[in-house]
Amino acid sequence: QMPLYCSRFMVAPCKRTLGDVVPDHSSRVFRRCWRRLWHPGRLYTGSVTSSPDSEFRNSEMSTQSEKPFHTPVMVKEVLQFLDIKPGQVVLDLTFGAGGHSKAILQSVPGVTVVAADRDPKAFQMAQRLAEEYRGQVKPVLGRFSELNNLLPALGLRPGGVDAALLDAGCSSMQMDSAERGFSLSKDGPLDMRMDGDRYPDMPCAADVVNALDQQALASVLAAYGEERHTRKIAAAITQARSVYPIGRTLQLASIVAGAFPASALYARRDRLQRPSHVATKTFQALRIFVNDELNELHAGLRVAQTLLRPKGRLCVLTFHSLEDRLTKRFLRGEDLAAPPRRSHRQRAKARLGLEGEEHEEEEENEEEEKGRESKHWVSLKKVIKPSEEEVQENPRARSAKLRTASIAS
């Protein structure tokens, strides 16, 4: 029997405020699509944790014991640019598995680390670290957009933080746990929420693919996945779900793959020239949309701007061009409501239809950065990339970009 589409949000309304969105150009897509998702009577109610789609289940993968592990990226560079002195206060906005926080605690005596994360599992790890470093770690559970309300309880006031780190996106613990639904290679419920435990009524990825109409779905894929074949993929998804609701990660991956000839399945390459699955960008788009990652990133940058003291330093690690562009524009003090200014090179790429190609890494035209300083921030260095050795050791670092800035005094 087909699950009914009815609104679980009507029963337990979500607290998301649609008005409080980043004035970033992709937010229009966000608002429009989110409202559609919100529409009563259309949401996926089949539980993502007990999907009947066992034919898509790879039981070997989902039952194997997974050791979640996250290798922190560019630790040496982060420590160098944060330049933390003994006894200072550091805000780690993205604690994750605590790799950067631990490195800070180990290298600077008497430092206090405020360890925030939206993921309750990361929060538990921060609590454990707080036991190890008594009085030096202050765990906080919350999204960037919630921190203004949470941090004053810890005695943090505007200007009271010496250094801040934002390591954007998901941790390997989240990506590699099949049951969290982020991975397109491990079967699991199509969830993708970083804090679904805290907000069980928030839409998950299964809600998005089962409830949005084809055009809205295509807009989400284009805006957040920078995917070029959006119509084809959105059509495949809407066709597949008319037969059976989509509830599992491998099910979605195979539906997307089905929209392409077999030869195209791994024809795309990542930045290490490794074959990348044709559904990779679809998964990225859904993850960003479900977790409202770009608006959250903007909120996190604003929190850092408010809390850092004059000359206080910020490091931001990003992993795809949407995050990096937003960070770059924020640190330049650009109006995010205006469409981004494009370099000659980017305009040429757009004309040739090469935008968004994974192998076509978006290179910074750093010459154009000159004279674009913000009144709030002083850039410490051009964008920094990981060393080749680091990328070899930790392939997840391959797309990392580090931006560093200090508060103008």
| Residue (73 or 250) nearer to ligand SAM, CB | 73
Alpha carbons 195 and 143: distance in angstroms, whole number: 9
Which of the ranges 8-16, 59-67, 164-172, 225-233 carries the binding residues for ligand SAM, by CB under 6 A?
164-172
Contact 166, 159 (CB under 8 A): no
C-beta of 400: minimal distance to ligand SAM in Å? Answer: 10
| Residue (208 or 211) nearer to ligand SAM, CB | 208
C-beta of 194: minimal distance to ligand SAM in Å? Answer: 4
The edge-to-edge listing of strands for the beta sheet with 112-117 is 137-141, 112-117, 89-92, 161-167, 308-318, 401-407, 377-384
Structure tokens at 221: 């894929």
Q: Which of 53, 167, 176, 191 binds ligand SAM (CB under 6 A)?
A: 167
Alpha carbons 113 and 301: distance in angstroms, whole number: 18
Q: Which of 9, 34, 144, 330 binds ligand SAM (CB under 6 A)?
A: 144
Bridge partners of 313?
A: 163, 406
Contact 38, 10 (CB under 8 A): no
Amino acid at 270: D
For ligand SAM, the binding residues in 289-328 under the rule CB under 6 A are 296
H-run or E-run covering 166: strand 161-167
C-beta of 33: minimal distance to ligand SAM in Å? Answer: 19
User: If you search the block for the tokens 């949005």, which residue do you land on?
Assistant: 212
Q: Which of 139, 169, 196, 245 binds ligand SAM (CB under 6 A)?
A: 169
245 near ligand SAM, judged by CB under 6 A = no
390 near ligand SAM, judged by CB under 6 A = no
The 177-206 contact track toward ligand SAM, x by CB under 6 A, reads -----------------x------------
Contacts 24+ apart (CB under 8 A), 125-134: 125/95, 125/97, 125/98, 126/95, 126/98, 126/101, 129/98, 129/101, 129/102, 129/105, 133/105
Q: Which of 24, 77, 117, 207 binds ligand SAM (CB under 6 A)?
A: 117
SS3 401: strand
Burial of 99 (0-12, 13-18, 19+ CB in 10 A): buried
Q: Which of 24, 53, 77, 119 binds ligand SAM (CB under 6 A)?
A: 119
| Residue (207 or 296) nearer to ligand SAM, CB | 296
Contact 144, 152 (CB under 8 A): no
H-run or E-run covering 172: helix 172-176
**∠ CA(169), CA(174), CA(178), 5° rounding?**
140
| Residue (161 or 240) nearer to ligand SAM, CB | 161
Q: Which of 16, 36, 57, 100 binds ligand SAM (CB under 6 A)?
A: 100
44 near ligand SAM, judged by CB under 6 A = no
C-beta of 97: minimal distance to ligand SAM in Å? Answer: 4
Size of site (CB under 6 A) for ligand SAM: 21
248 near ligand SAM, judged by CB under 6 A = no
Which of 278, 319, 65, 71 minimizes the C-alpha distance to 184? 278
385 near ligand SAM, judged by CB under 6 A = no
99 near ligand SAM, judged by CB under 6 A = yes
Which of the ranges 168-176, 242-250, 279-287, 330-338 carries the binding residues for ligand SAM, by CB under 6 A?
168-176
Q: Helix and strand tally (H, E) in the chain? A: 17, 9
User: If you search the block for the tokens 């894929």, which residue do you land on?
Assistant: 221
72 near ligand SAM, judged by CB under 6 A = yes
Q: Which of 36, 143, 186, 403 binds ligand SAM (CB under 6 A)?
A: 143
Which residues of this protein are in contact with ligand SAM, per CB under 6 A? 70, 72, 94, 96-100, 116-119, 122, 143-144, 167, 169-171, 194, 296
